[in-house]
Structure 1
Amino acid sequence: MSSQCPDADNANATPATEQWTSISKHVVNSYLEANNALLAAMGFSSTAEDAPTTESAVDTTTPSPTAEIAFGDENWVMERSTDDYDTLGVGDYVRFSKPIADTDVSAFARVSGDTNRLHLESDFAEDTQFGGQIAHGTLVAGTISAALARLPGVTVYLSQDLEFTGPVRIGETVTAECEIVEELGGDRYRLHTTVIGGDDETVIDGEAVVIINELPGK
């Protein structure tokens, strides 16, 4: 998560134009794929060629409700101790696992503005203390938020403390685990939050305070 500027004198560094061109392609492709998948799930076409040209060509199929759209990936895995909001309490937990792909790192660099070469340039990263590229710490920490979102009910962050204890390599699968350790009243909970790397070592340790409300309409 360093904010170091690129070292223009490094002979092994990829030219800035080529690096940003590569990153931009990854980001644009990722956004297009995500957008197309969302439109397809809602029953809409994502290309101009597929648009109806006459009234008779209009697709009258009713799109699925937004609540039924599955934002997920076959490589994502979730496990939780309970599906029942009413019984949620101390000891309940949720785990969420996903691989940290190169496209994730490129997209995060573009969105966040954190273009530290340690995350983006393999030649440069090989000469650092890590011996290769690693993922942004805050990108990896985002899997904690992903896990919290999968608790029964609607989870709202109030605070999050983090300690980064190890690097995550690009391509490595990480698992975030959040366990309720204290009920604070008013639907507020304190949770122990960790992220485990592919070698079963803790890479992030911390604590979160959240509000977990019942799903609307219940």
Structure 2
Amino acid sequence: MEARQLTDHHYTKQEYLDFIESCEYKYEFLDGSLRMMAGAKAAHNRIRRNSFLALARKTEDCEVYDSDTAISVYLLNKIYFPDLSAVCGEAEDEEGGIERLRNPSLIIEVLSKKTATIDRGEKFQAYWKLPSLKEYILIDSLSMLVQSYYRETEELWRIGNYTQPEQEMEVLSLGVTVPLAVVYDGVVFPEVTGEFTD
């Protein structure tokens, strides 16, 4: 989703929660600043839906959440809305306001032109502050490319790259695999490649 940061007012977390409960749009909370999440394009939405349905069907021990569920990076006083997330074990929610998970095992972001830098940089650096996070997966919406980062130790991440429809994307935190052909089912890529388009 496209992001637009609002910096004209410093919000407390409670002000943010009160505001977003009655707001028609999603806003992320960045330690006092708000960033509006605008609508995504068809490829982005299809990838997110395909991935959610595939993962929700395959896993029994973990619960998969869509983009309506926020993640609280409580150590940094930030709240994000990833495209998908999952919790293995009992979910820890922050009290009051919108649903905010504190202990995701898995976070998935679908990359677009306007969010790729944020997803790869700011958000990844924030998410890895969560002790519960085992895996971060980035799915390109312009071309068939999935990059996964699995935390084997506090300092060591295992990296996976998937680029072919016959490849099985390993989701190690959930103990499942999903073919890229399923993730990208129905997605039409633009003819010009090399940069994001949504």
Q: TM-score with structure 2 length normalisation?
A: 0.28
1 or 2, which has the higher strand percentage?
A: 2
Q: TM-score with structure 1 length normalisation?
A: 0.27
Mark the structure with the bigger radius of gyration: 1
